Amino acid sequence: MRLLIFGLGYSARFVAEHARADGAAVAGTTRDGRDGTLRFDDHRALEHEIAGATHILSSVPPADGVDPVLNAYGEWIDHSRAWLGYLSSTGVYGDAGGAWVDESAPTGGGRRVARAEADAAWLARGARVFRLPGIYGPGRSPLDRVVSGRAHRVDSPGQVFSRIHVADIAAGVRAGFDAPAGAYNLSDDEPAPQNAVMEYAAQLLGIDPPRFVSLDDLSPMARGFYAENRRVANGKAKRVLGWRPAYPTYRLGLRALNATTSPVTASTPPDKAKADQR
């Protein structure tokens, strides 16, 4: 396997580690070519990598209304015979009023129009599109937010979110290497209010729960996040990929993180797929 990853950020690095453990050769891009990666704008090198890749995965979110990877390298990707994958977002479903959504639910009606268009463009190319909810893991979890003092609770009754441990994303993509093209929701089994998650993180740390804030005190981006309410169903990924989350609830995930790592202050917000860099 020769895996090329566009956007070797937080989530994609876990995918890369899994692939390397299976003996794959992995190349990845970043904006600046740090840590031995390829610069995203090094067209000659990337055209060579695309031509030789057996698998291509993009974790790059839309920018300025377009997909940067398809905008810059779509023609080369179209001529490639490689397996294609894309890390998308469950934000493409928009608000469901707290109802369950699966891969048959309509997309493009929410606040993430550009993401939905990129999602559709990769599907049209025969990609495996992995739709991800809120992502957490080592160094980027509610534990880190609570211990750094950046966590808060919001007075938003009835609001629930789905989430996914980054290790379960890597396992899902790995399972997708042998799966048919299409969309797959990778999420845990227990959508839950964000307040409950923060309170449990504080309980594990033995400190007081974070303060309450009103919706009016949040940034416009954060208010948009709370304007959507849905539960993400993962049955297709289980049936077709044979995937099962190792951390099916936030409690299991946070307990594992608390037992194996010391929470530290994260320098960037928790990854929600969009934080991965080119």
Question: How confident is the model over 28-47, as a mean pLDDT?
Answer: 96
- DSSP helix/strand/coil, 197: helix
Higher pLDDT, 220 or 165: 165
Contact 23, 1 (CB under 8 A): yes
pLDDT tens per residue, range 84-142: 999 999 999 999 999 999 999 999 987 889 999 999 999 999 999 999 999 999 999 99
pLDDT at 261: 62
Q: Which residues contact 52 (CB under 8 A, 6 or more apart)?
A: 2
Handedness of CA 98, 101, 106, 109 (dihedral sign): positive
pLDDT band at 222 (very low <50, low <70, confident <90, very high): confident
Is residue 260's pLDDT more than 90? Answer: no
- DSSP helix/strand/coil, 199: helix
pLDDT band at 263 (very low <50, low <70, confident <90, very high): very low
Fold of 2-260: Rossmann fold (3.40.50)
Contact 172, 232 (CB under 8 A): no
Query: First-to-last CA distance in the chain?
Result: 22
Cα-Cα-Cα-Cα dihedral of 241, 246, 249, 252, to 10°?
180
Is residue 189's pLDDT more than 70? Answer: yes
Q: 25: phi > 0 → left, psi -120 to 50 → alpha, else beta; which?
A: beta
Strand stretches in the chain, DSSP E: 2-6, 25-30, 38-39, 55-58, 83-89, 100-101, 128-132, 134-136, 153-154, 163-165, 182-185, 212-213, 231-232
Answering whether pTM is above 0.75, one says yes
Is residue 266's pLDDT more than 50? Answer: no
User: CA 98, CA 221: separation in Å to the nearest integer?
Assistant: 20
pLDDT at 272: 38
* Helix, strand, coil distribution of the chain in percent, nearest 5: 40, 20, 40
User: CA 1, CA 125: separation in Å to the nearest integer?
Assistant: 20
pLDDT at 224: 80
Higher pLDDT, 226 or 270: 226
Tokens standing for 243?
A: 């995937």
DSSP 155: -
For the chain, give the mean pLDDT.
92
Nearest in space to 139 (alpha carbons), one of 271, 31, 234: 271
Percentage of residues in the chain having pLDDT higher than 90: 84
Half-sphere exposure of 43 (CA within 13 A, CB side): 8
Is residue 194's pLDDT more than 60? Answer: yes
Q: Which residues contact 99 (CB under 8 A, 6 or more apart)?
A: 230, 231
Give Cα 60 distance to the centre of its chain: 10
Name the least confident of 16-20, 129-133, 217-221, 249-253: 217-221
User: CA 38, CA 151: separation in Å to the nearest integer?
Assistant: 35
pLDDT at 223: 82
